Structures are given as C-alpha cells and as structure tokens.
C-alpha cells in the first residue's frame, strides 16, 4: 500500500496522520481526524456538501487528495466556532434536514471574507456550487445576505 505520513494544519491545530496517497481529504478529515462537519454527498464534485476552506478559498474536499494539501491552512465548519454567519442560519431557519448546511456555510464564509460587498450576481455565482435537497434556497440566501450586511457594518466601524 502507498502511504505517506503527512502533517496538516486544520482549524489552527497541527495534526499528523498516515494516509493512503489515494485518500481524499474528505475521507481523512472525517475518518482519520474525527472532523465530521464536511459531509459526503455525491463524492463527484457536484453537490458541495463536502466544502471546506483551504487558504481562504472554498474547496470541495471530495475533489482533493489529503497528500496534496500539506502546506495549506484548512478550516472546516468545526473551526468557525459560533460565527455570525452560523447565527444567521439559525435565525433565518436556513436549513431543514441540515445535511447541506456545513458546505453552504463554508462557501458563504469564504465569500464574505473575500468579498464583503458581494452583489447579487456574485452571491449567486458562488452559492450555485451547493445543492440543498430540502430546497431551502430562499432562507439560505437571506441568511447569507444578512451576514454580509453585518460584515459591512463591522467594516464601516473600523
């Protein structure tokens, strides 16, 4: 078996783990590091439920090998720790079964950080990467827009 001992920086912690080179990052996060926030959905890059943050960009962890992200900073939904975006999702009822929620949150979190003044077109372009089987799109959009408005207020006050 081809394995490699790798060191990953996940949610601000350094974690060492031995992986098969063929293991996806999604599998390693969940089954080796116990971080089950990123969810397996299609495993094919289509649904976005496995989305995490790699160096500030949303990435589908089913489309990455764990061995290729050794120098990167990885954040999963566990690393957000009660962000205002998460509060907005609760307040706006932006989930039903909740399976898609971590993926939407990680994608929207990166959007807010990179483009706090994102317009409707940009929000649509980014969030199109995620699918909600319960079709809670309206509420998700409201939660993201509300978190963007909060981010803009914070920026104005700085």
Cα–Cα distance, 59 to 51 (Å, whole number): 5
Site for another protein contains 68 (CB under 8 A): yes
Site for another protein contains 72 (CB under 8 A): no
- Give least dist CB 41 to ligand FAD, A: 12
In this complex, which beta carbon is closest to ligand FAD, that of residue 79 or of residue 103? 103
In this complex, which beta carbon is closest to ligand FES, that of residue 47 or of residue 151? 47
DSSP strand pairing (51-54 vs 57-60): antiparallel
Which x/- pattern, by CB under 8 A, does the window 6-35 give for another protein? --------------xxxxx--x--------
- Give least dist CB 78 to ligand FES, A: 17
Give the max Cα distance, the chain: 55
Bridge-partner residues for 53, per DSSP? 58, 75
Residue 96 interface partner, choices another protein, ligand FES, ligand FAD, none, CB cut-off 5-8 Å depending on type: ligand FES
- Per-residue burial over 117-154, b = 16 or more CB atoms within 10 Å of its CB, e = otherwise: ebeeeebeebbebbbbeeebeebbbbbbbbbbebbeee
Site for ligand FAD contains 46 (CB under 6 A): yes
- Residue 90, judged by CB atoms within 10 A of its CB (0-12, 13-18, 19+), counts as exposed
Bridge-partner residues for 75, per DSSP? 53
Site for ligand FAD contains 45 (CB under 6 A): yes
Closest CA to 66 of 77, 83, 54: 54
Residue 49 interface partner, choices ligand FAD, ligand FES, another protein, none, CB cut-off 5-8 Å depending on type: ligand FES
Site for ligand FAD contains 128 (CB under 6 A): no
In this complex, which beta carbon is closest to another protein, that of residue 46 or of residue 91? 46
């Amino acid at each position: 078996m081809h394995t490699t001992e790798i060191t990953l920086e996940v949610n601000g912690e350094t974690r060492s783990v031995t992986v098969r080179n063929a293991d996806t990052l999604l599998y390693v996060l969940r089954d080796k590091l116990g971080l089950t926030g990123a969810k397996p959905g299609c495993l094919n890059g289509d649904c976005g439920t496995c989305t995490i943050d790699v160096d500030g960009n949303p990435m589908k962890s089913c489309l990455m090998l764990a061995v290729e992200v050794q120098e990167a900073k990885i954040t999963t939904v566990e690393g957000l720790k009660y962000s205002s975006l998460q509060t907005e999702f609760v307040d706006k009822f932006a989930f039903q079964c909740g399976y898609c929620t971590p993926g939407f949150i990680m994608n929207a979190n990166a959007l807010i950080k990179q483009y706090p003044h994102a317009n409707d077109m940009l929000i649509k372009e980014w969030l199109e990467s995620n699918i909600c089987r319960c079709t809670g799109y309206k509420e998700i959009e409201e939660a993201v827009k509300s978190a963007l408005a909060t981010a803009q207020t914070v920026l104005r006050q700085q």
